[in-house]
Amino acid sequence: MVLPMTDAPDAIFALGARVFVGTPNGDLALDPRTGQSRALVVQAVRPFKDGLLVFFEGIADRTEAERWNGRTFLVPSDELTPPAEGELWLHELAGMRTFDAAGAEIGEITGWYELPQGVVLEIRTVRGVRDVPFNDAFVQHFDRVARTMTLDVPAGLLE
């Protein structure tokens, strides 16, 4: 079973689409013998519980499929529809510099994690790592090109 981490699972896992094998932490996996990445082609797909049951060419049975547990599947960003105005990909968050509404630097986004309530940013500040919800209540603006984000957080959240 595949748990899609995309807003477009029908496009990513369409019949004939290719995905690249990733590591459990989301990096591109390379074959230790060849140093090459491995692409898998979607042969069939159907909804299953909270995810998708995806069949790939070259993975013939359940035993072989179970070897892929815990892996991620990746798609080159140039093969995806770019984010619309006011959107970004989650992988773009890490490394963005954050500022408050007055323009003072808060810190750098070092990562993010997802909770049922939404995405939370991990921001390295001069006082240590702080968590800030990534939502319209706190994020005033972000600039994908400049890699900056303006936040409006309640007093004490960054203390």
Domain that holds residue 54: 9-77
79-109: pLDDT as tens digits = 888 888 888 888 899 999 999 999 999 999 9
| CA count, 13 A, side-chain hemisphere, 146 | 9
Q: Would you place residue 7 in the very low, low, confident or very high pLDDT band (cuts 50, 70, 90)?
A: confident
Is the same domain home to 31 and 52?
yes
Distance CA 108, CA 106 (A): 7
Residue 110 has a pLDDT of 96
Is the same domain home to 53 and 106?
no
> Apex CA 119: angle with CA 131 and CA 39, to 5°?
125
Residue 137 has a pLDDT of 93
Residue 23 has a pLDDT of 87
Residue 159 pLDDT greater than 90, yes or no: no
Is the same domain home to 22 and 62?
yes
**In a domain? residue 60:** yes
Distance CA 87, CA 144 (A): 9
Average pLDDT over residues 2-21: 88
- Last residue of a domain, which of 54, 77, 100? 77
- Last residue of a domain, which of 52, 77, 102? 77
**In a domain? residue 95:** yes
**In a domain? residue 107:** yes
**In a domain? residue 18:** yes
121-157: pLDDT as tens digits = 999 999 999 999 999 999 999 999 999 999 999 888 8
User: 0.95 exceeded by the pTM?
Assistant: no
73 with 40: CB under 8 angstroms? yes
Residue 77 has a pLDDT of 79
13-40: pLDDT as tens digits = 999 999 999 888 788 889 889 999 989 9
Is the same domain home to 48 and 102?
no
